Amino acid sequence: MWLMRGSGDAMSVGERIRFYRRRRRLTQSVLANLVGLSEDWLSKIERGERDIKRLDRLADIARELRVSLSDLLGQPVLMEDDEDRDDVPRVRDALMAPRRLSRVLYQAAPALENVNAARAAELVEFGWSDYQRGILGRVVDTLPGLIETAQQLEDAASHPTNDARACWAVSARTHHLAATTLSKIGEADLAWIAAERAMHAADQADDPLVLASAARAGTHALLAVGRFEDALNLGNTAADWLRPQMAESDPNALSLYGMLHLRTAVAAARYQDRPTAVELINRAQAAAQQLGEDANYWQTGFGPTNVQLHRLSAALDLEDVDYVVDHGPGVNIEHLPTERGVSHLIDLARALSLVARDAEALDYLLTAERAAPQLVRHNPVVRETVKSLQRRAPVTGGGKSSPLLGLAERCRAVQ
């Protein structure tokens, strides 16, 4: 029996581990030995008596079970918003159009003259604005058209009257938006396709900032599938390449350079490489100090506060839960893009859940949901946190009308 898409969302991580372990015909003892953990630890995880705090351990288990990290976190449900927009299948169709596989086998239509790359770029930036505001349904709704336009621009880049670099730059930016959005809603495999397209287009654009930005898409996609060491390698390579090409005090370059270090710091933390994570965050902090403010160049939201939030996120992955609980609530996130602030609230709720401060954890999740419902309801980490809160909730606190049960239903943590 195979789990169908979305059918395992009400299952806990432990239940999914047990399902796939039995499918592989492995005993708890054998699987525990394969990942270097005790059978008692694995047994408690499968029974829901303890939570997995470290994603690297979950990634190791996924590798031994021959499934993806997203399989254990829970397959994404189809993206829907309050207006019943559900266009992930159309995004998939746009990304996987056969004619994109070969320009020889599929002879492209005659290259267009005088394409309006500037107008296409404006539309993509509108999409980035919606993403940062947490309106994921609208982003997903517009992505198929944006991707199709980007592919037309790639074809048009060969016409001598068009600005080829501008055409490829818009394509890179479009596919970066797709990769980041798809990673956020759990569509890890599609995110990787989009990230690869973003990097290919950025290579053709011949612009250091475009390529550095696209590399962020690659790190997002690699993190989403649990390839933490590869994400670290890509981010470091991109940052090292960008550094000598940065114009003096260029805020765009500083922001991208700093964000590459923050993404690699997350990768290092999830890989349990504490010294590297600390070093990378410190490098990002130096760039933020040079920038001198919380800004949003290239839709990075980069600045001193974002560095602080990533320091907390890395601490959570490194199991420094008390540090997050003590320092997280004091960070002012009101001036940051909604997506960044909501991510912090989710991290804080997860940390509070790990120390069984469940009422506070629920309050932060509800606050995050009010700010950006789709960012919360389609987040697998939120879903697992809610399940942990439910397991510990007293009968009187988990009734049919309780805020916790309501959130669980909206996140599809219960059937």
pLDDT along the chain (415 residues), means of 10: 46 83 84 86 83 79 80 60 65 86 69 76 95 93 94 86 92 96 87 94 94 94 88 95 84 95 95 95 96 94 97 95 96 95 96 94 97 90 89 65 88 77
Domain boundaries, the chain: 13-71, 77-225, 226-318, 330-415
Nearest to 52 by CA among 76, 22, 72: 72
CB atoms under 10 Å from CB of 17, counted, come to 24
Please give the pLDDT value at position 10.
Answer: 61
| Whole-number Cα distances in Å, 281 to 96, 109, 248, 304, 306 | 36, 47, 21, 11, 10
Q: What is the pLDDT of residue 86?
A: 59
CB neighbours (10 Å) of residue 394?
7
pLDDT given at position 100? 77
Q: Which residues contact 334 (CB under 8 A, 6 or more apart)?
A: 341
pLDDT attached to residue 47: 83
Using CA atoms, how far residue 316 sits from 54, 230, 267, 270, 302, in Å, is 9, 21, 12, 9, 20
C-alpha span between 136 and 120 (Å, rounded): 19
Distance CA 52, CA 57 (A): 8
Residue type, 400: K
CATH topology of domain 13-71: 434 Repressor (Amino-terminal Domain) (1.10.260)
171 vs 157: CA distance, rounded Å: 10
The pLDDT, as a whole number, for residue 75 is 55
